[in-house]
A and B are shown apart, each in its own frame.
Chain A
Amino acid sequence: ETGVTQTPRHLVMGMTNKKSLKCEQHLGHNAMYWYKQSAKKPLELMFVYNFKEQTENNSVPSRFSPECPNSSHLFLHLHTLQPEDSALYLCASSQDIGDRSTGELFFGEGSRLTVL
């Protein structure tokens, strides 16, 4: 059982659709992340939220729009995506204490996105 839950687990959408991915962490962590995992490529950091504030936007196209309403929820809003955006989108959380961290990211099981 994971402390980070993602929905939906699978999503198929057309290029003109608008959809959202949802992530919820039950671990009391203060940092949340979106990562993209494509075949044969390393996990790509997309967004980081620390105490609900976005601290990292890793040159992600504007067709991906994150939202963090509180420290335990994270959304990724999707619109006018391209077929090359098809990938596994992983949400993660961690506990960040100033300049220290446990160094452990807790991942959700991912949302597998297919863009037609």
Chain B
Amino acid sequence: RKEVEQDPGPFNVPEGATVAFNCTYSNSASQSFFWYRQDCRKEPKLLMSVYSSGNEDGRFTAQLNRASQYISLLIRDSKLSDSATYLCVVTIYNFNKFYFGSGTKLNVKP
């Protein structure tokens, strides 16, 4: 069973659209949660951490539901530059173990 599961997509949306990604994790002992972004043929980079109370960074909003063991990312007013693969990441037991989902691909079209 995978530690982290994501819908692989692709999500094809027009510029200006709002799009949401979900991610589920299997281990209830998971401690910290993140969204990373990976551009084509580039390395992953941290987009934002996910806190229990929910958090927002500009057009991006992340939510965590511990009871249902899922994490979400909402992108408002999509830009062409948002096209990338979004990776859901959880840490388990200690902070040296970062488990990645396989990613959700987003294509924002003009």
Contact = CB atoms under 8 A, between A and B. Distances in A.
Interface of A: 2, 31, 33, 35, 40-43, 45, 48, 50, 55-56, 90, 94, 96, 99-101, 103-105, 107-110
A108 B62 CA distance: 26
A105 B87 CA distance: 13
Interface string B12-34: 00000000000000000000101
A103 B101 contact: no
27 contacts: A2-B43, A41-B102, A42-B2, A42-B4, A42-B99, A42-B100, A42-B102, A42-B103, A43-B87, A43-B100, A45-B97, A45-B99, A50-B96, A55-B96, A90-B43, A90-B44, A96-B95, A99-B95, A101-B91, A103-B32, A103-B46, A103-B95, A104-B46, A105-B44, A105-B98, A107-B43, A108-B43
B102 A40 contact: yes
Interface of B: 2, 4, 8, 32, 34, 36, 42-46, 49, 87, 91, 94-103
Contacts, number: 60
A78 B99 CA distance: 24
Nearest to A44: B100
Contacts of B34: 103-104
Contacts of A101: 32, 91, 95-96
B1 to A, nearest CB: 13
Contacts of B8: 40
B43 A110 contact: yes
B22 to A, nearest CB: 16
A78 to B, nearest CB: 20
Contacts of B99: 42, 45
A110 B42 CA distance: 8
Contacts of B91: 101, 103
